[in-house]
Every structure is written in structure tokens, then in C-alpha cells.
Structure 1
């Protein structure tokens, strides 16, 4: 396939951002076996492409195993991913598990299915990683996913909590990595279109526009239209936390605060904000 200069430039940018995220968080080490979860969506195809490209020139050696979970959704084109993986020459596993029927049976019509579906998938992925001897699990979540998760937890969960670029699984058996942590969803979408990936839509949850995550997505898209760079700014904020200027006694000892306590940034509560703000503050989360 011949690619345009624009697509090649975009690929280089995505590879650079992926490589930086991997380096910043030490996601991949020599001798790792990485299970790469590929759903058939734009994000996971891009994840696999980035890891395969970086594997060719990385200073460390690591093994990649692509995995797809066939959840037995009606009409799922079961031949697409095996054929695609074979064309790449990558080692792969297709795991068949009828989670679709379980979700449809347990979740009432009209309710969001993502939570249960996610838990079922996670258990199967962990089990597969253990069987294959994979110590790392790579997921296709990107910058926008991380930022959206922050606002979901902030506005609907009462927590300042996002989606980390790297974490240990609950059973302490694997490390989950998100190499696309610095990549913008818009760039991934352009790349996927240019590469003509054989996209497989998720009919189980992809059309649930009433989800709170969709509301957050719309809010952030509005922010970025009106104040370009907001999503990138929020990601930067996630990497620059000042505990003394929050209100969590577990992170900062407010009760024993004295005049001799070291000051991080001082009292800047009444300083003028550097970010220009005009018009109405763009939050609209009406249901």
C-alpha cells in the first residue's frame, strides 16, 4: 500500500508520541511478552501498528501476541481479524466466549452495558495472558479516554481519578499498559482512515448515546472548539498534581500545617488565570 506524505507524517507523529509515553512510564522492558488486545476498532488497530513499528527499532527485545475476544455478537465477521493478523505475520490468538448473551440477559433493555461487558472481558483477557505467559497487557486507550475518565469520576463519581498509563492488575499477575496515552483520538481516527483498517463496529455498546461518557465527550469537544488545546492541557494537569492545593488529608497533612511547612506554589488563589476565558463556561451535562 502506497501512503501519502500526510499519512506518513501522521504515522511518524503517532509513533513519536507512543514512544515517548512508553519511555516516560517505562512501559516495555527487555524480555517482555505483551498481549495486545485488538477489538477491531480504530484505537486497537493503531495500537498494534505502533507497537509493531517500534518493535523493529527498539533498543530492547520484546514479544507481541495479538488477541481478539470474539464475544459472539450476532453478525460479527469472525474471519476479518484472523486474516488481518495473518497478513501482518504476527502471532495471535482468537478467544471465543459468549459474553454477549450474558450481558443481554443481565442488563435490562435501555441500560448501559459497558460496565458488565468490561468486567467479563477483563477476566478473560487476564486468564489468556496468564496462559500465554504474557507479563504485560497492552490496551488501546488514548489521551482523550484518560481525560474523559477524569471528568467522569470528578462529576459523577466524586473522585479525582483518571485512567493511568500503567497499572498492576488486581491479582498482581500482570502490568497493564496504555502506549497511546499521549495520542489524540482525532489523529488516531485520521490514521485509521488512511490505513484503511478493516473496522469492526461494536453493536453491543457503541450506539449507546445516553451514556455519561458520551456526555463528557460532547463537553470536551465543545471546549476544544471554543478553547483549542483544552484536552492537552488537562492531560498535562494529570502529570502535574499539587497535593497542597487540593483538599485530601491523605495526600497532604493539613491538620499539622504550620508556618514552617514548605510551600509548593504559595497562595495564588486570587491570581489572574493565564488561560483566556470568554463567554459562557462550557459545561452542559443535562440528561
Structure 2
């Protein structure tokens, strides 16, 4: 299903008792614009496919990209895409009505991945890995079909940090979620414009806007996810030490390979003492007797 309406109409009315969405929106746009600039996420002539799930993050992402599309010094297209995965009770009308009112070009894809995930996932195991793999394949394929040059996802700061610690705690890998990523086959580029944004700021904006949130019946229904445990750990850190999460995120941009332990990342084996220029006092090749005498003197002292 594809629809394009050029004239925006009324969108869901925000609750007047909540903070002004305009006031909450400005810092979000500023942070996203900085991430887009830092990682050169969007360029002249891009066609950006925004993956809209019906959650607070993707709604916010769409708002930010539409705002930047109007004000940025470059021209780029925005097209929204939602994947209907066949979840029972999924409100099929919500996103088409919302996007039609907003005047945004959109595609609704229908693939029953829900049944596959439920069938293939053993009882008590998490569904996230298989679900995300199936969803990613469908979205990648559709991006190629419509000529999208970038695929925009709504992952924010906490998503990136949760991934970092999930990989560290359970996978023994120092690996996070990059702001910009090329697919393995090189045919898609994924961008995460919300990479610098805190989840709480997105939540406040989404509440003020009154987005028609659609809950997920797969990952959203699993209470014992390790990711949730890690998320609670990060939230606790931020409550007790405000600013800690921002420091961790900043640390990911200031990596010192020589102070880690990855032998593929840094050539530790080649490290050796280099004599100071002009200092031949301990050069064993030119003064072998000095090395011998120094060793002999040390042995006498120990004896």
C-alpha cells in the first residue's frame, strides 16, 4: 500500500495539561542534527526510509526528519514504512490514518513474521533475535525496491548503551550500536539520528504530542529480558549519578586502542624500548661490553 498526500492536515491533539511539545522538541532537533552532521548521515538527494513501528522513538524520529527536511540547506526525501508483522490485535488503521493526516508518503508492508517467530522460538526463550532478523531482511529488501539510499531507525542513547553492556556481559565483546552502518552486502546504509538523545527526553516529547502508540505483543510482552535488566541498571546509574550515561556514550567516541587488550586492533607484539636519540649508552649492538658489565654488576649486587 502506497499513498502520498501533499497537504498536511490535522494531527492528534496534544493534552493541554502536558508541557509544550515545541519547547521539548527544540533540543531533540539540535541533538539529532548534531549526530547527523558528525556522522554525515544524510546528504544531498538522499531518499530516507523512516522505519515507523508505532512506538515513541520512531514517531519522534519522523517528526525530527520532517522538521530538518523543511529547514536543512540540502534537499532530501522522507518516506515512512511500517511492517505489519501479523500480530494478533494489531490496529491496522492507526498508522495509515496518522500518516495520511500528516501528509507523509508511506508504505505499509504485510508479512506474517509473528507466526514464524512464535513457531520457531522455544517456550521461555526470547523472540527478539529472530524477530529482528526477519524484520531487518524485509525492510532491507523494500529499501532497495523503492530506491532508498538511507534507512533511518529510531534507536536512542540508551539503546546504544544497552547494546554495549549486553555484548560485554553476555557476549564478551566490546561492541555497541553504530550511528551509521553499511549492511554486509553493501546495498543498504542504516542511520540512527537519535543516537545522542536520552530516552527520557523522547518520552516527554512523545507524551506531550500524544502520539497514537502501538504496543508490541512480542518483545513488549517479555518481562525477563536481559536487555530490560541492563536497562534498569543504566537507569539506576543515571538516577544516582546524573550524567554518567552521557559520559559512557562520550567514551565510545574517544577510544584509545593501545589501552585495551585487542591484539588485532593494536600491534602490542611490536612494542619495544627505543633508545633516546644520541643515547648510545645502552645500545647492545654497538656497546656489547657495557650490557655485559651492567649485567655482571647486577649479579654481584644480588649475590
TM-score normalised over the length of structure 2? 0.84
CA deviation profile, 1:61-118 (whole Å, cap 9, x unmatched): 0011100000010000000000011011010000000000000111122210000000
Partner of 1:243: 257
SS at match of 1:34: strand
Q: Separation in 2 of the partners of 1:5 and 1:193?
A: 9
Q: CA deviation at 1:259?
A: 3.0
CA deviation profile, 1:212-232 (whole Å, cap 9, x unmatched): 101100111111111111111
Q: Separation in 2 of the partners of 1:253 and 1:59?
A: 43
Q: Separation in 2 of the partners of 1:5 and 1:77?
A: 28
Equivalent residue runs for 1:194-233 within 5 Å: 194-233=208-247
1:34 lines up with 2:48 in the alignment? yes
Aligned residues: 261
Equivalent residue runs for 1:110-121 within 5 Å: 110-121=124-135
Partner of 1:234: 248
Gaps of 5+ in 2: 1-12, 276-303
SS at match of 2:221: coil
Equivalent residue runs for 1:30-179 within 5 Å: 30-179=44-193
Q: Separation in 1 of the partners of 2:256 and 2:177?
A: 18
Partner of 2:39: 25
Q: CA deviation at 1:6?
A: 4.3
Q: Separation in 2 of the partners of 1:31 and 1:48?
A: 18
User: Which residue of 259, 270, 273 maps to 1:256?
Assistant: 270
Q: Separation in 2 of the partners of 1:7 and 1:31?
A: 30
Partner of 2:280: none
Q: Separation in 2 of the partners of 1:205 and 1:214?
A: 10
The CA RMSD measured in Å over matched residues stands at 1.4
Contact kept in structure 1, 2:157 and 2:249, CA below 8 Å: yes
1:12 lines up with 2:18 in the alignment? no
Q: CA deviation at 1:191?
A: 0.5
Q: CA deviation at 1:123?
A: 0.5
Q: Separation in 2 of the partners of 1:260 and 1:136?
A: 48
CA deviation profile, 1:32-70 (whole Å, cap 9, x unmatched): 011100000000000000000110011110011100000
User: Which residue of 176, 185, 193 maps to 2:207?
Assistant: 193
Gaps of 5+ in 1: 262-287
Contact kept in structure 1, 2:20 and 2:208, CA below 8 Å: no
Q: Quick check: which has more Rg, 1 or 2?
A: 2
Partner of 2:287: none
